[in-house]
């Protein structure tokens, strides 16, 4: 495989793992064994897939409550993931985090937070430590466009710009905070022109083509690593499902289904599949790597269901470090 | 042994730790400026440079998250707030993030963060420059809360706090900055979570937090001089973990207990200490526990109302007399602490 092919295939693997894991959640959630509020990444997988493809495994990332895809794309593992969703001792936090606080530091996933914009300053502080310790890394924060409404967002951008630390801010712009559109929340039209006034580099993409995201994130991370100048990426995407839960909610009139149809017609997982076929992989080869991921997921779910729940004395462990 | 002020002791602890461990950084609004947080951060910028000692934007919340992010990547941050009141802007990061981060992410991380905040008082500090709020912080699982009273404890407890892998909130009363004490030159740790008997006695236990220990000691002196009452004064020193056993041991001995807390009484630390003391030694108590604390009002600025707001040694003496069924003595010849003798403002 050529280099381009390798990137394309790995990108597809990240996308497919995320999509199939969430298909599995949708299928099994009604069993009521995964008892955790699920904020599904469904439809938004390409941003974490493209960015994580551009990052090194050790690059620290901070994500949000909507972070299944980011966790899976960064770690490329789903055994601890499912075990955590099932609340088992083999999960990322032995059942203490559920869906909203996934973390796997050994793979550079430093945690997810359920309070909007609270993860941005952590990425800035981590970037400060990276620069101070002269590590060849870049820290990264993922967040939605709702984060821009928060004070912590602007505080974090200001600190990063002031200190010139290797941090990448990744805005997954799906246009909604829960059910409230940005037009009902934001007193500005062009956030990019505001951000350009800070000592940071800004990048924008109005679609969610995973290869373009990878290319932009590669360019941004390369420069950020070298110059310590923070980068801000705003990438458009579309949430296929309700804010929290596994269902569609187009009957609720807060958004138009035609938009969903438009985004789904250029679904990023499908696009990337087409692309690797065009790049020369055979249908059989693609199906084989898909099957491999499906088997991993099946085994992960089976293992998670089998694994023990934490014992009661786990409750007070880890309250203090 | 040489004497240091509380402020010098804080500075020496931080200086010695920063010299020992280059993963320690210190920052906060005004930390490296010419005032140096009342002098507690002198020489740090000069010795350790701007990458380890720096000023920050007025962004308390994000700088607190910054501290957590830096800690997760191996640094040991010290974040300084010149007033506790300003720390309220960081409550989201403190309560939703720092306190629980290690627990909810599977205990993979260490979170060695020290947050220093100064309790203001007097000369018109008013309602937004005088809060203590230690019970807020101690209420949250995952945070340690210390309030050193003496200079030697300030040095030892801050050293312990810097070396602790858990987040520690250290509350320093502005008036204590002038207090002097014998302080060892070499570095040492004073364990967090152990109360200290500041004055031994057998007739009544006075439990103090922060500045109220100074008032309690003065009250104990006067009570002994005039009535021969031997009051035992116990400095809580650490609100979480709380050394309720030492307090209960003293109360079991004396049979009487007054809690003098440097905070509002309602829903405060005094209530928690009282509850634990009742649980541990109810049968030894000859009278119900009394609490002394701030009046249930925002802190006013004018001195006459401030005098009503804050309890002092006299308040404690009157409570002791009442609980021990003694007639109130005349205190007109006694000298009480008055900050005007030291503190001419403005901050």
Digitized pLDDT (tens) for each residue of chain A, 321 residues in all: 566 689 999 999 999 999 999 999 999 999 999 999 999 999 999 999 999 999 999 999 999 999 999 999 999 999 999 999 999 999 999 999 999 999 999 999 999 999 999 999 999 999 999 999 999 999 999 999 999 999 999 999 999 999 999 999 999 999 999 999 998 999 998 999 999 999 999 999 999 999 999 999 999 999 999 999 999 999 999 999 999 999 999 988 899 899 999 999 999 999 999 999 999 999 999 999 999 999 999 999 999 999 999 999 999 999 998
Whether the pLDDT of residue B165 is over 80: the answer is: yes
Give the active site residue among B8, B12, B17, B60. B60
Which two tokens mark B216? 């309690």
Active site residue B173: no
The continuous run of DSSP H or E covering B270 comes out as helix B269-281
**What pLDDT is recorded for position A141?**
98
Could you read off the pLDDT of B100-109 as tens digits, one per residue? 999 999 999 9
Q: How many CB pairs under 8 A join A and B?
A: 147
| Alpha carbons B334 and B191: distance in angstroms, whole number | 36
**What pLDDT is recorded for position A2?**
63
Q: Which letter does DSSP use for residue B142 in this model? A: T
Alpha-helical segments (H) within chain A: 3-28, 46-54, 68-75, 79-85, 120-132, 151-163, 191-195, 210-227, 257-265, 268-278, 283-306
Which two tokens mark B25? 């950084």
Whether the pLDDT of residue B85 is over 70: the answer is: yes
| Alpha carbons B32 and B54: distance in angstroms, whole number | 6
Which two tokens mark B1? 């042994």
> Is the bond into B241 cis (omega within 30 degrees of 0)?
yes
Q: How confident is the model at residue B344 (pLDDT cuts 50, 70, 90)?
A: low
* B324-to-A260, B20, B256 alpha-carbon distances in Å: 77, 51, 8
The continuous run of DSSP H or E covering B47 comes out as helix B44-48
Best CA proximity match to B40, nearest among B31, B48, B49: B31
* Paired strand residues for B231: B204
CB proximity B106 to A under 8 Å: yes
Report how many helices (DSSP H) and strands (DSSP E) chain A contains, helices first: 11, 8
Residues with Cβ < 8 Å from A139, sequence gap 6 or more?
A: A59, A60, A61, A62, A123, A124, A126, A127, A130, A165, A166, A167, A168, B69, B73
Q: Are A58 and A221 in contact (CB under 8 A)?
A: no
**What pLDDT is recorded for position B337?**
80
Q: Are A285 and A9 in contact (CB under 8 A)?
A: no
**What pLDDT is recorded for position B338?**
75
> Is the bond into A10 cis (omega within 30 degrees of 0)?
no
Q: Are B96 and A117 in contact (CB under 8 A)?
A: no
| Alpha carbons B119 and B129: distance in angstroms, whole number | 7
* CB atoms A129 and B70 under 8 Å: yes
Closest-CA residue of chain B to A116? B92
Closest-CA residue of chain B to A134? B73
Could you read off the pLDDT of B37-61 as tens digits, one per residue? 999 999 999 999 999 999 999 999 9
Closest-CA residue of chain B to A60? B73
């Amino acid at each position: 495989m050529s280099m381009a092919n390798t990137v394309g295939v790995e990108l597809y693997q990240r996308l497919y793992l995320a999509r199939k894991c969430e298909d599995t959640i949708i299928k099994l959630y009604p069993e009521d064994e995964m008892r955790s509020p699920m904020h599904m990444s469904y439809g938004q997988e390409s941003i974490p897939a493209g960015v994580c493809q551009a990052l090194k495994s050790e690059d620290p990332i901070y994500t949000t409550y909507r972070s299944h895809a980011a966790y899976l794309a960064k770690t490329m593992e789903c055994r601890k993931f499912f075990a955590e969703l099932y609340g088992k001792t083999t999960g990322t936090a032995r059942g203490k985090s559920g869906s909203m606080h996934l973390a796997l530091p050994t793979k550079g996933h430093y945690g997810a937070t359920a309070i909007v914009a609270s993860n941005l300053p952590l990425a800035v502080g981590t970037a400060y430590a990276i620069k101070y310790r002269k590590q060849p890394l870049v820290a990264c924060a993922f967040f939605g466009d709702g984060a821009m409404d928060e004070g912590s967002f602007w505080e974090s951008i200001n600190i990063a710009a002031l200190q010139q630390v290797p941090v990448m801010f990744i805005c997954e712009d799906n246009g909604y905070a829960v059910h409230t559109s940005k037009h009902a929340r934001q007193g500005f039209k062009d956030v990019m022109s505001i951000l350009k006034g800070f000592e940071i580099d800004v990048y924008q993409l109005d679609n969610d083509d995973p290869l373009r995201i990878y290319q932009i994130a590669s360019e941004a991370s390369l420069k950020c690593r070298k110059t310590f100048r923070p980068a801000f990426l705003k990438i458009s995407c579309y949430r296929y499902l309700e804010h929290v839960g596994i269902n569609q909610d187009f009957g609720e009139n807060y958004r138009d289904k035609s938009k969903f149809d438009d985004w789904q017609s250029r679904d990023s997982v499908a696009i990337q599949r087409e692309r690797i076929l065009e790049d020369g992989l055979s249908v059989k080869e693609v199906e084989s790597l898909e099957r491999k991921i499906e088997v991993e997921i099946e085994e992960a779910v089976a293992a998670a269901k089998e694994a023990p729940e934490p014992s009661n004395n786990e409750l007070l462990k880890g309250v203090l470090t | 042994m040489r004497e240091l002020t509380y402020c010098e002791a804080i500075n020496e602890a931080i200086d010695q730790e920063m010299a020992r461990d280059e993963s320690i950084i210190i920052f906060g609004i005004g930390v490296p400026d010419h005032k140096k947080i009342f002098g507690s951060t002198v020489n740090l910028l000069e010795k350790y440079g701007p990458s380890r000692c720096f000023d920050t934007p007025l962004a308390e919340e994000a700088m607190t998250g910054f501290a957590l992010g830096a800690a997760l990547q191996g640094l040991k941050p010290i974040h300084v707030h010149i007033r506790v009141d300003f720390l309220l802007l960081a409550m989201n990061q403190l309560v939703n993030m720092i306190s629980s981060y290690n627990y909810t992410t599977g205990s993979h991380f260490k979170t060695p963060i020290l947050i220093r905040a100064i309790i203001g008082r007097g000369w018109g500090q008013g309602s937004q420059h005088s809060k203590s709020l230690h019970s807020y912080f101690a209420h949250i699982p995952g945070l340690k809360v210390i309030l050193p009273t003496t200079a030697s404890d300030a040095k030892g407890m801050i050293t312990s706090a810097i070396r602790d892998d858990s987040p520690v909130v250290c509350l320093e009363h502005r008036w204590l900055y002038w207090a002097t004490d014998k302080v060892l030159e070499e570095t040492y740790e004073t364990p967090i979570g152990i109360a200290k008997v500041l004055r031994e006695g057998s007739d009544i236990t006075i439990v103090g937090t922060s500045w109220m220990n100074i008032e309690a000691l003065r009250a104990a002196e006067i009570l002994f001089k005039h009535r021969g009452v031997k009051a035992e004064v116990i400095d809580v020193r650490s609100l979480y973990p709380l050394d309720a056993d030492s307090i209960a041991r003293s109360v079991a001995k004396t049979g009487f207990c007054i809690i003098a807390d440097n905070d509002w009484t309602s829903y405060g630390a005094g209530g928690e200490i009282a509850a634990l003391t009742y649980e541990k030694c109810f049968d030894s108590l000859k009278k119900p526990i009394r609490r002394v604390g701030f009046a249930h009002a925002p802190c006013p600025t004018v001195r006459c109302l401030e005098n009503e707001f804050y309890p002092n040694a006299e308040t404690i003496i009157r409570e002791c007399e009442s609980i021990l069924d003694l007639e109130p003595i005349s205190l007109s010849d006694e000298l009480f602490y008055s900050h005007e003798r030291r503190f001419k403002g403005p901050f």
